[in-house]
Homo-oligomer: A and B are copies of this chain.
Amino acid sequence: MARAIQVIGIEGLPEVRPGDDLVALLLGALAAEGLALEDGDILVLTQKIVSKAEGRLISLSEIEPSAFACLVAHQMGRDPRLIEVILREARRIVRMDRQVLLVETPHGFVCANAGVDRSNVGEGRVALLPRDPDASARTIRHEIQRRAGVEVAVLITDTFGRPWREGLTEVAIGVAGLAPLKDYRGQRDRFGVPLQATVVAVADELACAAGLLMEKLAGIPAAIIRGYGYEPKEGTASALVRPPERDLFR
Contacts and interface: CB of A to CB of B under 8 A. Distances in A.
B165 A163 contact: no
A193 interface: yes
A98 B159 CA distance: 29
Nearest to A219: B190
Nearest to A99: B197
Given A110-B165, A189-B216, A202-B212, 17 more contacts: A2-B33, A3-B220, A7-B7, A119-B195, A119-B198, A122-B191, A162-B162, A164-B249, A165-B204, A166-B199, A166-B201, A167-B180, A167-B202, A168-B201, A170-B205, A205-B209, A206-B212
Contacts of A4: 6-9, 213
A100 B192 contact: no
A168 B120 contact: no
11 contacts: A2-B8, A3-B11, A6-B6, A118-B193, A162-B162, A165-B241, A165-B242, A166-B239, A167-B182, A168-B199, A190-B217
Contacts of A213: 3-5
A114 interface: no
Interface of A: 2-11, 33, 35, 95, 97-98, 100, 102, 109-110, 112, 118-123, 159, 162-171, 180-182, 184, 187, 189-193, 195-202, 204-209, 211-213, 215-220, 228, 239-242, 246-249
Given A120-B189, A191-B120, A167 B199 contact: yes
How many chain copies does the complex carry? 2
Contact of A189 (B6, B110, B112, B119): B119
B212 A164 contact: no
A129 to B, nearest CB: 15
Contacts of A121: 191
Most buried by B among A6, A123, A182, A200: A200
A242 B163 contact: yes
Contact of A167 (B166, B220, B240): B240
A181 B167 contact: yes
B3 A6 contact: no
A10 B2 contact: yes
